[in-house]
Amino acid sequence: MVDVIKSKNDIYIRMTDERWFHIIENHDDVAGYYDDVLDTIENPDFIIKGYKDALIALKQQSSNKKYLAVVYKEIGENDGFVITAYFTSKFKLEKEEILWKK
Given a cut of 80, is residue 91 above it in pLDDT? Answer: no
Residue 34 has pLDDT above 90, yes or no: yes
Residues with Cβ within 8 Å of residue 61, at least 6 apart in sequence = 36, 67, 68, 87
Burial class (CB in 10 A: 0-12, 13-18, 19+), 23: buried
What is the band of 63 on the pLDDT scale with cuts at 50, 70, 90? confident
Residue 92 has what pLDDT?
81
When pLDDT is averaged across residues 65-90 and rounded to a whole number, the result is 94
Is residue 57 within 8 Å of residue 70, measured between CB atoms?
yes
